[in-house]
Amino acid sequence: MLEIKNLVVQIEDKRILNGLNLTVNKGEVAAIMGPNGSGKSTLSYVIAGKEDYEILDGEILLDGQNLLEMEPDQRASAGVFLAFQYPLEIPGVASMTFLKAALNAQRKARGEEELTTPDFIKRVNAAAQQLEIPKDMLKRALNVGFSGGEKKRMEILQMALLQPSFCILDETDSGLDIDALRIVSEGVNALRSPDRAFLVITHYQRLLNHIVPDTVHVMHAGRIVKSGGKELALELEANGYADYRETEAA
Amino acid sequence: MADVTLMKTPAETALAQAFESAKTTLPGTGESRAQAFEQFNSRGLPHRRVEEFKYTDLRTLLREVAPFAGAPSADQARSALEGAKALKGVEALQVPFVNGHFVRDAVDFHGLPENVEIVPMAEALANGHDWLAHLSPVPWANDNPVYQLNTSFMADGVMIRIAGPVATPLHLRFVTAASSAVATATRVLVVVEEDASVTLLETHESTDGANHQPNDVVELIAGDRTNVQHVRVNAEGDKALALSTLAAKIGGDAIFNSINVVAGAATSRHQVFAVLNGENTNLRVNGATMLKGSQHGDSTLVVEHGAPHCESRELFKTVIDNEATGVFQGKIIVPHHAQKTDGRMMSAALLLEEGGSMNNKPELEIFADDVQCAHGATCGQLDEDLLFYLMARGLPKKDAESLLVQAFLGEALEFVENETAREALVETVESWLKARA
Amino acid sequence: MPAVQETIDQVRLIDVDQYKYGFETEVEMEKAPKGLSEDVIRFISGKKGEPEWMLQWRLDAYKRWLTMKEPNWARVSYDKIDYNDIYYYAAPKKNPAPKSLDEVDPEILKTYEKLGIPLREQEILAGVEPTNRVAVDAVFDSVSVATTFKAELAKAGVIFMPISEAIREYPDLVRQYLGSVVPVTDNFFATLNSAVFTDGSFVYIPPGVRCPMELSTYFRINEKNTGQFERTLIIADKGSYVSYLEGCTAPKRDENQLHAAVVELIALDDAEIKYSTVQNWYPGDAEGRGGIYNFVTKRGDCRGRNSVITWTQVETGSAITWKYPSCILRGDNSRGEFYSIAVSNGKQQVDSGTKMIHLGKNTTSRIISKGIAAGKSENTYRGLVSAHRKATGARNFTNCDSLLIGNQCGAHTVPYIESKNASAVFEHEATTSKISEDQMFYCQQRGLSEEEATALIVNGFVKDVLQQLPMEFAVEAQKLISISLEGSVG
Ligand SMILES: Nc1ncnc2c1ncn2[C@@H]1O[C@H](COP(=O)(O)OP(=O)(O)OP(=O)(O)O)[C@@H](O)[C@H]1O
Ligand SMILES: [Mg+2]
């Protein structure tokens, strides 16, 4: 599904990704863990197509398509979804309006019919209910004045609605209370399917208790330095990243 | 109407006569003087239809022109300086001016701190000193009538070169001491070379009871990576009409931090013209103005972001008691090429009693798209809820007011780095409030 | 950001072919001789069958105007206007004062059809909710060609008619209020208008009446070399309410045409007037050729206690806009509001804003201004808020935000805030920025294209103001903004 080969990325002369390789297969849930500043968010932005980054080398393929040649909206329509670590606020634009615009833009790009308003509302309501998002929140301007946890839930709502094929969750668990963590995880689990892959970025095992990964990758200094099964996460939880730091120093 | 030539006012006529008789005796070749005066004279004293002087109509305010002061005798200078109090407690190298003339006896030219050079302006003008080429660093200030008058009549001042880091602050002390009204025109040029740093204190005092008319210009050229801290105090006498200009050109990666604290003069207008000439420079211009009785205090400011990636912060606080009038005019200009500019300007005014006025004109003039600029202006009374809260805790009303006013002005003062100077400014505020109670 | 660069490139290419209303109508017109003179004024007054006092009023204004100078303080520049190269009166030859729609030249009716302005009451009634009905006064060059729902409005006691008719039918009312808000000598353009105004709307709402429908005037400049000088006078008597809409368009032409209108609003005790404008005069082409010069004086007088005047404007058209709808808050507890969206593109120049003059006690005002500059345009907000000595308890809140799209335009903010009363509380805030790249990326990550994302964010930016418009108008305004920014907006 997603194949990243030897990705080298810098920003303002600072090298952040250093020859990163990563493959995520269809149906797989891959977790990425790594110390602060190791480049996890950078990786997710580069996959989604944020400007500012200089791609010095490497490629990113989604189902064989070269993502690096596509605009962010084209990537979105191709199925890439990024749940932001820090979701943006858009004053004056009601969440509903935004959701509808996004959904229909993607449908249009894929040559599908636009949804009628009643259909759209039905879908949103269903998703909102599952994620226990109150309706009046949907009427407010997108993310404006939302609490940290509400913003994260809104990200998952969008994911549920847009039905992307490759989902990146960048620290979606941070800022969530215990109940919200369960609700969000259930939302994600409900979307798990043989056709869909996930890249879950997190610092904590507790999320992975809910969203059980197939593979766990350790990222350090802009590289995947170790990959393994879900037990790797437990190991990290116990020992921290000290081993990898030493490796680096040596 | 604006284009109609008005009759010359007596003050304008007097200025023309004064210039005629002074131009041969003032130091220097007189070319730039003559040019400046001609420019001034073609338009006369600015009045309320001249946009920049809308709220400070000099044609009305300046009725009678005081005679320009001659150089004081050594005794006069000494006693004038003995009486000067502003920022007295701050340890600094004294660079004093009495009645617009540099008091060179007060300066030990051989014992100047490292990296400091001082040249008397009168001498420099007379000899055509090289550094004169640095005068007028902000070209568009030349168009300002107050500045033009200073250029026309400047009799003395100093030129200072800062060649490296200077630990001791330099105190430009302006004193006007005469029992009857005099006019002065002093010019100071400070050139701060690359990587140098300095603290400049600037205080202005004059005797009460006389309609003194100081018109001072301080010009600053600060090179790349410089750090200039500037504290200015207007403690002019109660009848003075004080005009002043700060024209600054700042290089890249530099810091310039300036504050003007006003409590003196019957009428004052302080103009700041600043150009940021290199990238990544940080500018702060603050003002704290306290006005009472029928005082009129004008702070006018133009900041041009001449280079990308600069940050400017302007914070002006005005407290108005009795029937006083406050004016703030501030303009941030961002030309096309100054991308990534971050400019923020705020003017806040408190009217303590019925009868006062405040005129605010914060402007943005922006031609670059990738910028963050904002301005704000507020005007009103002290927060009644806060007053009530303090009074409910047992503070008498005036004390509660004083506390809140101190906090209000304090926000502008807190950026003063020199601790003793900052404390002295806080004291100025306190004694202003005490006099009120 | 290459994507933004693309937007900028597209904006640059904008051609005013986007201007949908640029067509011309072929009708035979009767015109006054070109130029301005006492004779021309007598001609206009004669055509309108005006009483002697009105003619005298005009002539006085003209004499005064001759001594005045065109103002130059606004941030706009344009070639000198030759006031003698303009026709001050142009009216359809065929029946310039039709009694009913049947008498109106069919070509003109077609024009309004094309513009989407309903003039036939039956058609309006068919299929539309009665509560959404809008009465229209259609002004074509110098004359009103049709006014709908007059009879029904009359039943409620509302007078809604062309001002030329009102001068004849209600001379006392007109005489009492005309020029009482914008004095004849107010400014160069207002004085010119006082001398030569040709038509416009007159509205009077009697005490206690809530006007049963929205009133609107639709201004169309059609004829070449003509200026349009309309005059609108709205009086809301005690305890009444009216919402009034104004729309305007003109054909595409290489020449500049002058529009110098005066609008006066008077709200007596407890009355409320809402005045909304969607200004879409021809803006000129991408090179700045042609377009309307819009020099307009609009002022409302909150004369009575507790009165309210709200100005809402969406300005997308005109080569030059010079316009400051203002409120004089004279009555105690009166309120003035100003909501504005000004979009400029191509080489348009906008200098617009408001004045809130607080005279009475406990008067409040609110200003929300959103400026969007694109292309090579210049967009200036200019505003005055003042509290006079007696305006105890006055309150103002001002928010003016500017958005720049592209790097060749300018956005400027020039507020004057003057308080002479200690108990007055004024707050002003202004920002200038561009659409944040992070917001753009976020929207694009969700699948919106560059244009769609820009449109969405711009709509969010202007939302506070759009909300103030009557529903149907808001939709139209939203579309207009998109069209004006076409290229950057999908
Ligand atoms: N715009 C930028 N300019 C300069 N450095 C940047 C920029 N963006 C990111 N970096 C740097 O790149 C490195 C990687 O950042 P990134 O946000 O990808 O880390 P992360 O692994 O997501 O960390 P965290 O766990 O704290 O979220 C950090 O050192 C960060 O400071
Ligand atoms: Mg991160």
* Pocket probe mutation, ligand 1, options A8, A13, A18, A41, max atoms within 8 Å of Cβ: A41
The answer, yes or no, to whether residue A32 has pLDDT greater than 90, is yes
Q: Which residues line ligand 1 (CB under 6 A)?
A: A 11-12, 14, 16, 34, 36-42, 85
pLDDT, greater one: B233 or C438: B233
What DSSP assignment string belongs to chain A? -EEEEEEEEEETTEEEEEEEEEEE-TT-EEEEE--TTSSHHHHHHHHHT-TT-EEEEEEEEETTEEGGGS-HHHHHHTTEEEE-SSPPP-TT-BHHHHHHHHHHHHHHHTTPPPPPHHHHHHHHHHHHHHTT--HHHHHSBTTTT--HHHHHHHHHHHHHHH--SEEEEESTTTT--HHHHHHHHHHHHHH--TT-EEEEE-S-HHHHHHS--SEEEEEETTEEEEEE-THHHHHHHHHTTHHHHHHHH-
pLDDT, greater one: B384 or C340: C340
CB C417 to CB B369 under 8 A? Answer: no
Mean pLDDT of A213-219: 94
pLDDT at residue number C318: 85
Task: Report the candidate in C135, C131, C183, C180 with the shortest Cα–Cα distance to residue C159.
Answer: C135
pLDDT at residue number B257: 98
Token digits of residue A226: 């170790």
Q: Which residues of B382-392 are buried (b: 16+ CB within 10 A; e: fewer)?
A: beeeebeebee
CA distances from B9 to B20, B89, B147, B400 (A): 17, 44, 19, 47
The answer, yes or no, to whether residue C96 has pLDDT greater than 80, is no
Q: What residues of chain C lie within 8 A of the CB of A78, using their CB?
A: none
CA separation for the pair C422, C437 (Å, rounded) = 43
Token digits of residue B193: 């070379």
Output the CA C451–ligand 2 centroid distance in Å.
29
The answer, yes or no, to whether residue C17 has pLDDT greater than 50, is no
Query: Side chain identity at C476, as an amino acid letter?
Result: E
Evaluate whether C421 touches C389 at the Cβ level (below 8 Å): yes
pLDDT at residue number B194: 97
Q: Indicate which ligand has the atom closest to the C-alpha of A37.
A: 1
Mutate one of A11, A54, A73 to test the C interface: name it (highest C CB count within 10 A): A73
Q: How many degrees, rounded to 5, is the angle at CA C117 between CA C113 and CA C122? A: 85
Q: Find the radius of gyration of the CA atoms of chain B.
A: 21
The segment with the largest mean pLDDT, out of A64-68, A141-145, C8-12, is A64-68
Mean pLDDT of B93-112: 95
Q: How many CB pairs under 8 A join A and C?
A: 87
Query: Which of these ranges, A203-212, B74-83, B97-106, C387-396, has the smallest mean pLDDT?
Result: A203-212
Q: What residues of chain C lie within 8 A of the CB of B373, using their CB?
A: 431-433
The answer, yes or no, to whether residue B403 has pLDDT greater than 90, is no
CA separation for the pair A17, A5 (Å, rounded) = 11
Query: Strand C291-302 relative to strand C326-329: parallel, antiparallel, unpaired?
Result: parallel
**Domain identity same for B270 and B146:** yes
pLDDT at residue number C290: 85
pLDDT, greater one: B141 or C25: B141
Q: What residues of chain B lie within 8 A of the CB of C404, using their CB?
A: 366, 368-369, 371
Residue in A with minimal Cα distance to C490 = A105
pLDDT tier at C13, thresholds 50, 70, 90: very low
Evaluate whether A168 touches A201 at the Cβ level (below 8 Å): yes
pLDDT tier at B235, thresholds 50, 70, 90: very high
The answer, yes or no, to whether residue C474 has pLDDT greater than 80, is no
Q: Say whether residue A91 is in contact with chain C using an 8 A CB cutoff.
A: yes
Return the bridge partners of C351, or none. C322, C380
The reply to whether C490 falls in a domain is no
Q: Indicate which ligand has the atom closest to the C-alpha of A12.
A: 1
Rama region for A48: left / alpha / beta (φ>0; ψ in -120 to 50; rest):
alpha
The reply to whether B1 falls in a domain is no
How confident is the model over B405-425, as pLDDT tens digits? 988 999 999 999 999 999 999
Return the bridge partners of C295, or none. C322
Evaluate whether C145 touches C104 at the Cβ level (below 8 Å): yes
pLDDT at residue number C98: 65
pLDDT at residue number B234: 98
Answer with the one of B278, B313, B342 that is the final residue of a domain. B278
Domain containing residue C376? 2-484
Per CATH, the architecture of A2-244 is what? 3-Layer(aba) Sandwich (3.40)
CB C1 to CB A98 under 8 A? Answer: no
The answer, yes or no, to whether residue B343 has pLDDT greater than 50, is yes
Evaluate whether A48 touches A72 at the Cβ level (below 8 Å): yes
Mean pLDDT of B284-313: 97
Per the document, the length of chain B is 437
The reply to whether C298 falls in a domain is yes
CA separation for the pair C309, C339 (Å, rounded) = 11
The answer, yes or no, to whether residue A31 has pLDDT greater than 60, is yes
Collapsed DSSP state (helix, strand, coil) of residue C95? coil
The reply to whether B366 falls in a domain is no
Q: What is the pTM of this model?
A: 0.85
Evaluate whether C439 touches A72 at the Cβ level (below 8 Å): no
pLDDT at residue number A237: 82
pLDDT at residue number C397: 95
Mean pLDDT of C89-105: 72
Collapsed DSSP state (helix, strand, coil) of residue C235? strand
How confident is the model over B358-368, as pLDDT tens digits? 999 999 999 98
The reply to whether C194 falls in a domain is yes
The answer, yes or no, to whether residue C1 has pLDDT greater than 60, is no
- Residue nearest (by alpha carbon) to ligand 1 atom 19: A37
Output the CA A43–ligand 1 centroid distance in Å.
10
Query: Which of these ranges, B259-268, B413-422, C16-25, has the smallest mean pLDDT?
Result: C16-25
Residue in A with minimal Cα distance to C4 = A51
Output the CA A86–ligand 2 centroid distance in Å.
9
CA separation for the pair A98, A100 (Å, rounded) = 5
Per the document, the length of chain A is 250
The answer, yes or no, to whether residue B173 has pLDDT greater than 50, is yes
How confident is the model over C351-407, as pLDDT tens digits? 999 999 999 999 999 999 999 998 889 999 999 999 999 999 999 999 999 999 888
Answer with the one of B243, B278, B313 that is the final residue of a domain. B278
**Domain identity same for B121 and B242:** yes
pLDDT at residue number B323: 96
Output the CA A85–ligand 2 centroid distance in Å.
6
Distance from CA of C398 to the nearest CA of B (A): 9
The whole-chain average pLDDT of chain A stands at 89
Phi/psi for A180 (5° steps) reads -65, -35
pLDDT at residue number C4: 36
Evaluate whether C279 touches C50 at the Cβ level (below 8 Å): no
Contact partners, residue C149, CB within 8 Å, separation at least 6: C121, C133, C135, C136, C160, C213
The reply to whether C408 falls in a domain is yes
> Among residues of chain A, what percentage have pLDDT more than 70?
98
Residue among B354, B361, B374 minimizing CB distance to C416: B361
Rama region for A163: left / alpha / beta (φ>0; ψ in -120 to 50; rest):
left
Residue among C436, C445, C456 minimizing CB distance to A101: C456
Distance from CA of B366 to the nearest CA of C (A): 5
Task: Report ipTM for this prediction.
Answer: 0.87
Contact partners, residue B151, CB within 8 Å, separation at least 6: B32, B33, B36, B37, B136, B142, B187, B217
The answer, yes or no, to whether residue C11 has pLDDT greater than 50, is no
Answer with the one of B278, B307, B331 that is the final residue of a domain. B278
CB B363 to CB C415 under 8 A? Answer: yes
How many structural domains is chain B composed of?
A: 2
pLDDT at residue number C95: 63
CA separation for the pair B301, C45 (Å, rounded) = 52
pLDDT at residue number B271: 98
How confident is the model over B385-394, as pLDDT tens digits? 777 767 777 7
Could you identify the atom of ligand 1 that is nearest to the CA of residue A203?
25
CB C433 to CB B375 under 8 A? Answer: no
Residue among C412, C421, C427 minimizing CB distance to B364: C412
How confident is the model over C272-320, as pLDDT tens digits? 999 998 888 888 887 888 888 899 999 999 999 999 999 999 988 889 9
pLDDT, greater one: B414 or C2: B414
pLDDT, greater one: C133 or C334: C334
CB C462 to CB A48 under 8 A? Answer: no
The reply to whether C109 falls in a domain is yes
Output the CA A39–ligand 1 centroid distance in Å.
6
Query: Side chain identity at A73, as an amino acid letter?
Result: D
Residue in C with minimal Cα distance to A48 = C445
Sheet holding A54-62, edge to edge: A14-24, A2-11, A54-62, A65-66
Output the CA A37–ligand 2 centroid distance in Å.
7
Q: How many CB pairs under 8 A join B and C?
A: 121
Segments making up each domain of chain A, as ranges = 2-244
The segment with the largest mean pLDDT, out of A71-80, A105-114, A152-161, B275-284, is B275-284
The answer, yes or no, to whether residue C64 has pLDDT greater than 80, is yes
Query: Side chain identity at B260, as an amino acid letter?
Result: N
Place of tokens 């964010």: C457
The answer, yes or no, to whether residue C12 has pLDDT greater than 60, is no
CB C457 to CB A93 under 8 A? Answer: yes
Mean pLDDT of C40-48: 91
The reply to whether C164 falls in a domain is yes
pLDDT at residue number B350: 96
Mean pLDDT of C53-72: 93
Touching status, chains A and B (3+ beta-carbon pairs under 8 Å): no
Residue in A with minimal Cα distance to C465 = A92
CA separation for the pair B163, B191 (Å, rounded) = 8
Q: What residues of chain C lie within 8 A of the CB of B2, using their CB?
A: 72
Output the CA A5–ligand 1 centroid distance in Å.
20
Distance from CA of A220 to the nearest CA of C (A): 26
The reply to whether C10 falls in a domain is yes
Helix extents (H) in B199-266 = none
pLDDT at residue number C304: 96
The whole-chain average pLDDT of chain C stands at 85
Token digits of residue B92: 């600094």
Residue among C447, C450, C456 minimizing CB distance to A77: C447
Residue in C with minimal Cα distance to A107 = C447
Output the CA A10–ligand 1 centroid distance in Å.
11
Mean pLDDT of A144-169: 91
pLDDT tier at A175, thresholds 50, 70, 90: confident
Q: Which chains touch C (3 or more CB pairs under 8 A)?
A: A, B
The reply to whether B74 falls in a domain is yes
pLDDT tier at C120, thresholds 50, 70, 90: low
CB C415 to CB B368 under 8 A? Answer: no
Q: What residues of chain C lie within 8 A of the CB of A162, using their CB?
A: 446-447
pLDDT at residue number C488: 46
The answer, yes or no, to whether residue C489 has pLDDT greater than 60, is no
Evaluate whether C324 touches C356 at the Cβ level (below 8 Å): no
CB B363 to CB C413 under 8 A? Answer: yes
Residue among A72, A92, A101 minimizing CB distance to C452: A101
- Residue nearest (by alpha carbon) to ligand 1 atom 28: A37
